[in-house]
Amino acid sequence: MEILQYSLRKCVAGIPLVVGVTLISFLLIVYFGPDQTYSLLGKNPTAEEIAEVRSQLGYDRPFVARYLEYLREVVTLDFGNSVATDERVSRILARTIPVSVLLALPGFVLGNLLGVGLALLAAYFRGTWIDKLIMAFAAVGMSVSFLIAIIGFQIVLSSSDGLNLFPVRGWDTSTPWQYLRYVTVPTLATVFVALGYNTRFYRAVIVEEMTRDHVRTARAFGVPPARIFYRNILKNSMIPIVTRVVFSIPFIVISGSLLLESYFGIPGVGKVTYDAIVAGDQPVLKAVVALTAVLFVVAQLLTDICYRLVDPRVALR
C-alpha cells in the first residue's frame, strides 16, 4: 500500500518532466522543423492546395493548440503514417521494438554481469596487478569508439578476410541457433565497449563502500573477510549499481541499437530511426523521440521504487 502511494506520488512528480520532454521534441521536430508542406504536394501546386495542406498540417494554428495535438498523438500512440513508407507509425513501432529488445538484451545482461564481476575482482585485489590489468582493459574499452568496435569485430569474426564464422549482416530469429548466429557479433561489440564504462564505475562504487566506517566496525568485531564483503560491501554497493542498471535500460534499447542496427541491417527501432533521420521522416521522428523520453521518465520512476525496495534508509514519506 505504501509503495503504491509512493509510486503515485512519483508519477505526479514525473509529469513536469514528461511535459518538458515532449515540449522539446515538439519544438525541435515539429515547430522549428522544416516545413512539411511541399513534401506532401505534387508538382506545381496551386495556392489553394498549398493552403489546404498547410491547414491539414496545422501550420495556421496557435502554438498551444499544435502542442496539445502533439500530446494527443503521444498519448494515443497515433502518429499517422510514415512519410517514407506510408506504413502506420504505430505498426512500425510494434513490429520493430521486439527486435531491438532481442538484440539489446544479451549485451545488456552480459555487460552488467561481467562488469560487476570484474569490478568485484578489481576491488578485492585493489592495487595489485589484477586490478591494474582489469582497469587497463576497461580504459581500452572506454577509448575505443563503439563504431570502431563494431567494425572491428565484424572484420575479425564475420568477413571473408577474418574468421568468417558469423553472418556479416542481417537478422533471423526463426530458431535459437539462428538467433545466436546473428546476435553474437553485435553483442560482443556492445559488451566490449560497455564493460569499459561499467567496470570502472562499479569498481569505484565498491571501493567507496570498502572504505566506510561500518566495514571497520565489522573487522573490529572479528567478522571474516568473505562475510564482510557480502554483508557490508556488496549489499551496500548494490544500491547505486542497481540504480544505474535500471537507468540505462532505455538508452540501451534506443541509442545503442541505432548504430548496431543500421550497421548490421537489423530491422529494429534503431534502424527505423536512422532511416527516418536520413529521409527527414517527421512522423517517425516525432514518435521515437517522444516515446524514448517518456520511457526514460518511467525508468527514473522505476529506479526510485527499486531504490526503496533495496535501501531501508529511503523513507517513503
DSSP 81: B
Among 144, 242, 305, 306, binds other proteins (CB under 8 A): 144
Amino acid in position 308: R
CB 224 to other proteins: min, Å = 6
Instruction: Please tell me the distance from the alpha carbon of residue 134 to that of residue 120, in angstroms, as a whole number.
Output: 11
Instruction: Please tell me the distance from the alpha carbon of residue 47 to that of residue 60, in angstroms, as a whole number.
Output: 15
CB 203 to other proteins: min, Å = 12
For the chain, the first-to-last Cα distance in angstroms comes to: 12
Question: Closest CB to other proteins among 130 and 168?
Answer: 168
Instruction: Please tell me the distance from the alpha carbon of residue 108 to that of residue 67, in angstroms, as a whole number.
Output: 35
Exposed, middle or buried by CB within 10 Å (0-12, 13-18, 19+), for 71?
A: middle
Question: Closest CB to other proteins among 120 and 291?
Answer: 291
Q: Is the dihedral of CA 232, 141, 266, 279 positive or negative?
A: positive
Kindly state whether residue 124 participates in binding other proteins, applying the rule CB under 8 A. Answer: no
Kindly state whether residue 33 participates in binding other proteins, applying the rule CB under 8 A. Answer: yes
Touching other proteins, residues 80-109 (CB under 8 A) = none
Secondary structure (3-state) at 42: coil
Cell reading at 94: 510494434
Q: Helix and strand tally (H, E) in the chain? A: 14, 0
Kindly state whether residue 231 participates in binding other proteins, applying the rule CB under 8 A. Answer: yes
Touching other proteins, residues 210-229 (CB under 8 A) = 212-214, 216-224
Question: Closest CB to other proteins among 116 and 228?
Answer: 228
Question: Closest CB to other proteins among 59 and 179?
Answer: 59
Instruction: Please tell me the distance from the alpha carbon of residue 130 to that of residue 116, in angstroms, as a whole number.
Output: 15
CB 176 to other proteins: min, Å = 28
CB 243 to other proteins: min, Å = 14
CB 218 to other proteins: min, Å = 7
Cell reading at 107: 549485451
Picking from 20, 187, 19, 28, the residue whose alpha carbon sits closest to that of residue 103 is 187
Site string for other proteins, 265-304 (x = CB under 8 A): --------xx--xx-x----x--xx--xx--xx--x----
CB 259 to other proteins: min, Å = 6
Question: Closest CB to other proteins among 64 and 220?
Answer: 220
Kindly state whether residue 137 participates in binding other proteins, applying the rule CB under 8 A. Answer: no
CB 46 to other proteins: min, Å = 26
Kindly state whether residue 15 participates in binding other proteins, applying the rule CB under 8 A. Answer: no
Picking from 45, 50, 207, the residue whose alpha carbon sits closest to that of residue 122 is 207
Kindly state whether residue 47 participates in binding other proteins, applying the rule CB under 8 A. Answer: no
Kindly state whether residue 159 participates in binding other proteins, applying the rule CB under 8 A. Answer: yes
